[in-house]
Amino acid sequence: MSAPSRLGRYPVRRRLGAGAFATVWLAYDEHLDSEVAIKVLADNWTEDLHVRQRFVEEGRFLRKVESPHVVNVYDAGELSDGRPFLVMSYADQGTLADRLELGRLSPAQALHVVDQVGQGLDALHARGVLHRDVKPANVLFRTVDRGRSGQEAASEVCAMLGDLGLGKAMDMSSRLTMIGGTPTFVAPEQARGEALDARADQYSLAALAYLLLTGRAPFDHQTLTAAADPEPPAPLDHGFPDEADAVVRRALSPRREERYDDVPSFVAALAATLGEQRDDERMWTPTATRIGPHPGTDATEALRPDPASDRAGRPRWHWLAAGALALVVGAGAGWAVERAVSTERDVDDETGTISVTVPEEWASVDAGSWTPPGADAEFASISAGTRPGWNSRDRPAPGVFAGLLPGDELPTDVPPHPECETRRDPVSGSRLGDATVTVVFTGCEGPGFTVERVVQLNASELLWIQVRSEDRPTANRVLDQVDVRGK
């Protein structure tokens, strides 16, 4: 998809991401001299009145709330082809899901994120709006200026809630007809389709807090049916006091009447049990974590966690040949950052199914189909790199491969990369409604970064992509701009 020159009165700079229902573009507000994110309804949903109404309602819900911890909607409009768009806050520091790919947060940082997300939820609830989909991908980070310290401007990262695609007014919650939410984080009563109140969002925030504190999700629910009747989660461990475990468990009670009265009460109780954690670094600064070009610094190195050794007996994908190259698959989960390169271009496979935006120097393109290992038919694929054979094992170079393949479930792991020094543990998540699994490799021979992601596109197909890059910003940007049509 080529970038439009303008959306309404806003000049467009580049695409930030795309999903089943919308595409998000980075644009510039010439009147206010600031960058904005513009969310545009996908053209194939323009005539679906239900989807269109949900899109418009998201803007209305967000517009009701004035909080630094909720994405702000500045403007709305309609394109010449009838598609509505929303002009929103630009999250220049990406999402919590992206940040977690770099490693776990410190307890103080985790508590700070929970506190700010809790403030965002409280602001929504005060306006009578439920979020209904609190999860790492919907927690966005942006840089805020806190004034000047000495001769330099003091900035820090602020967390804010975004994506109210499932948001509903509380007075309408008793008339919900569609069950929605992310199974790992959704409250049981929401998974059952019952009438909801603010305690459903409290449950999701507690699940998020559990993830941030322990490095693992409290549940491994694959379906909403499983989430409707959850088992108690394992203890927090990691040296946290029993009082903290009790607070999180109370907020995760399957019986809503046993939870805290409201989100601020839960956050205050958790903070009280982790008070000693607040003395260390509460939040990262933009220069410490921003994945983007900073002269003389390597932000990714500064955040790299201790190397994780491969575990014996790690499950392998049965449909991959031994020693296969690591691949990244995704509808895109990159950091929303400024480009480190000045020019990009779009490449498409020969069927028009897969599109990806790549750096201009990735000029070697193969738009033909491929036959996945173990399959007996050809599937759409696209490959682009700095030279032919960029993905060979003996002379790897920067590039991307994206291909469809049959599959009714996500793999639990990805192939090893012996040429890379560090292998992060697989991260399960959801991107724009599609379940994903992601693995990041660093310190690789040739290009230093290899990222793998698999996305479950539908009941019978997966998307498999490999990205190799000299730097993480480029890898994430390419991932963020993989688009699949008609699936």
Q: Which residues pair with 148 in a beta bridge?
A: 153
Q: Domain ends where: 56, 88, 120? A: 88
pLDDT score of 66 more than 60: yes
DSSP line for 178-216: ---S-TTT--HHHHTT----HHHHHHHHHHHHHHHHHSS
Q: Return the closest-CA partner of residue 157 out of 94, 201, 102.
A: 94
> What residues form the annotated binding site?
39
pLDDT tens string 360-374 = 889 889 888 888 877
Same domain, 347 and 459: yes
Token pair, residue 176, equals 């919900």
Element (H, E) at 226: helix 224-227
Same domain, 373 and 413: yes
Same domain, 250 and 324: no
- How many domains does the structure of the chain reveal? 3
Token pair, residue 299, equals 């932000």
Same domain, 223 and 150: yes
Active site (annotated) includes residue 408: no
Task: Please give the pLDDT value at position 324.
Answer: 27
- Computed over every residue of the chain, the mean pLDDT equals 78
3-class DSSP state of 342: coil
pLDDT score of 159 more than 90: yes
Q: What band does 19 get if pLDDT is binned at 50, 70 and 90?
A: low
Residue 294 lies in a domain: no
Task: Please give the pLDDT value at position 166.
Answer: 52
Q: Return the closest-CA partner of residue 269 out of 234, 244, 289, 296.
A: 244
> What residues form the annotated binding site for ATP?
39
Task: Please give the pLDDT value at position 368.
Answer: 83
Classify residue 128 as left (phi > 0), alpha (psi -120 to 50) or beta. Answer: left
CB-based contact 187:203 (threshold 8 Å): yes
Tokens 């890379």 sit at which residue?
A: 420
pLDDT score of 269 more than 50: yes
Q: Which residues contact 90 (CB under 8 A, 6 or more apart)?
A: 26, 34, 35, 36, 37, 142, 336
Average confidence (pLDDT) over 320-349: 42
Task: Please give the pLDDT value at position 388.
Answer: 85
Average the pLDDT over each of 243-247, 254-258, 308-312 and give the range with the smallest value: 308-312
Residue 295 lies in a domain: no
CB-based contact 408:460 (threshold 8 Å): yes
pLDDT score of 78 more than 50: yes
Cα separation values, 397 from 137, 293, 390, Å: 30, 20, 5
Q: Domain ends where: 88, 113, 128? A: 88
Same domain, 265 and 316: no
- Structural domain including 221 reads 96-287
Alpha helices (H) along 83-164: 96-101, 107-126
Average confidence (pLDDT) over 173-185: 59
Average the pLDDT over each of 218-227, 253-262, 265-274, 300-309 and give the range with the smallest value: 300-309
Task: Please give the pLDDT value at position 276.
Answer: 57
Task: Please give the pLDDT value at position 115.
Answer: 95
- What b/e readout covers 253-277, taking b as 16+ CB neighbours within 10 angstroms? bbebeebbebbbebbebbbebbeeb
Q: Return the closest-CA partner of residue 327 out of 151, 479, 169, 484.
A: 479
Which phi and psi angles does 192 have, rounded to 5°?
Answer: -90, -5
Which phi and psi angles does 365 have, rounded to 5°?
Answer: -120, 135
Residue 300 lies in a domain: no
Token pair, residue 485, equals 């049509």
Average the pLDDT over each of 61-75, 106-120, 276-290, 384-398 and give the range with the smallest value: 276-290
Same domain, 318 and 277: no
- Structure-model confidence comparison of residues 462 and 426, the more confident one: 462
Q: Which one from 122, 133, 471, 483 is the annotated catalytic residue?
A: 133
Average the pLDDT over each of 73-87, 147-161, 248-262 and give the range with the smallest value: 147-161
- Structure-model confidence comparison of residues 139 and 458, the more confident one: 139
CB-based contact 444:419 (threshold 8 Å): yes
Residue 31 lies in a domain: yes
pLDDT score of 265 more than 90: yes
Q: Which CATH number fits the domain that encloses residue 56?
A: 3.30.200.20
pLDDT tens string 336-353 = 223 333 478 888 888 889
Q: Which residues contact 104 (CB under 8 A, 6 or more apart)?
A: 212, 215, 305
pLDDT score of 94 more than 90: no
Token pair, residue 53, equals 């109404």
pLDDT score of 48 more than 70: yes
pLDDT score of 296 more than 80: no
pLDDT score of 380 more than 70: yes
pLDDT score of 79 more than 80: yes
Q: Which CATH number fits the domain that encloses residue 322?
A: 3.40.1000
Q: Domain ends where: 258, 287, 316? A: 287
- Structure-model confidence comparison of residues 58 and 282, the more confident one: 58
For the full predicted model, state whether its pTM sits above 0.85.
no
Task: Please give the pLDDT value at position 369.
Answer: 87
Q: What band does 119 get if pLDDT is binned at 50, 70 and 90?
A: very high
Average confidence (pLDDT) over 236-243: 88
Same domain, 320 and 450: yes
166-169: list long-range contacts, CB under 8 Å, 24+ apart.
Answer: 166/131, 166/132, 166/133, 167/57, 167/58, 167/61, 167/124, 167/129, 167/130, 167/131, 167/132, 167/133, 168/129, 168/130, 168/132, 168/196, 169/61, 169/128, 169/129, 169/130
- Structure-model confidence comparison of residues 325 and 26, the more confident one: 26
pLDDT score of 433 more than 50: yes
Q: Which CATH number fits the domain that encloses residue 156?
A: 1.10.510.10
Residue 42 lies in a domain: yes
pLDDT score of 233 more than 90: yes
Residue 146 lies in a domain: yes
Task: Please give the pLDDT value at position 15.
Answer: 82
Same domain, 144 and 69: no
Same domain, 339 and 478: yes
pLDDT tens string 400-424 = 999 999 988 887 777 778 888 888 8
Q: What band does 472 get if pLDDT is binned at 50, 70 and 90?
A: confident
Same domain, 283 and 328: no
Same domain, 259 and 388: no
